[in-house]
Amino acid sequence: MNAGKRALPGCFISFEGIDGAGKSSHIEALAQRWLPRGVEIVRTREPGGTPLAESLRELVLHRPMDTLTEALLIFAARRDHLQRCIEPALSRGAVVLCDRFSDASFAYQGAGRGFDAAVLGTLERWVQATPTGLRQPDLTLWFDLDPSLAARRVAAARTPDRFEQQDEAFFRRVRDGYQARADAAPERFVRIDAALPRESVYEQVVAALRERGW
């Protein structure tokens, strides 16, 4: 269900990367500075984006649990988010800017925690099914950053949650997981070099959208 060169209204854009890669401030900047007036913008995030999914997010980020439980809660949150937020927004012609989507499950639960990718694939097919195919973003901006640099940014910025407490080896695997997803869907993914100064990172983001005629 990747529309490729589709018009901007009704587009679904996801933002991915390891913790500390700096994607959130660019979502904000895009919404404020770049997207045209008159287009409805829905900024949302995963896990989260609806009251139920935000409750599940609290559990996933702060309660100890095994990886299957974690994966099921994240996909349950995604289901609610899709049904109550993302699909209605796309139907209205809104541009959906989503801070993480299912690529994060393959990167964090799959590559990071070593959870069975085939099970994740099944959950993805169940949860993201629509009458016309599998719901995936039209564009995924992957903010790629060396894990040691990302860890320093996180340490300076906030108290780490269950994921941010993981060691550098975990984030190296997560990064490899994103690389594998990017290799499998090159028409959907754009790699952003997140090590560059903030304004250069933003220019790469805008260039990726312009390249699609947006």
Binding site for ligand TMP (CB under 6 A): 19, 45-47, 74, 99-100, 104-105, 108-109, 163
Nearer residue to ligand TMP within complex by CB, 19 or 80: 19
* Least distance (Å) between residue 180 CB and ligand TMP: 15
* Least distance (Å) between residue 3 CB and ligand TMP: 22
CA pair distance 44, 25, nearest whole angstrom: 13
Nearer residue to ligand TMP within complex by CB, 46 or 138: 46
CA pair distance 81, 52, nearest whole angstrom: 8
Alpha carbon distances (Å) from 150 to 91, 116, 156, 180: 36, 26, 10, 20
Amino acid letter at 38?
A: G
* Least distance (Å) between residue 45 CB and ligand TMP: 5
**At which residue do the structure tokens 């964090």 appear?**
108
* Least distance (Å) between residue 93 CB and ligand TMP: 25
CA pair distance 37, 41, nearest whole angstrom: 9
* Least distance (Å) between residue 7 CB and ligand TMP: 27
Nearer residue to ligand TMP within complex by CB, 127 or 214: 127
CA pair distance 151, 141, nearest whole angstrom: 20
Nearer residue to ligand TMP within complex by CB, 26 or 100: 100
Nearer residue to ligand TMP within complex by CB, 39 or 146: 146
CA pair distance 81, 50, nearest whole angstrom: 6
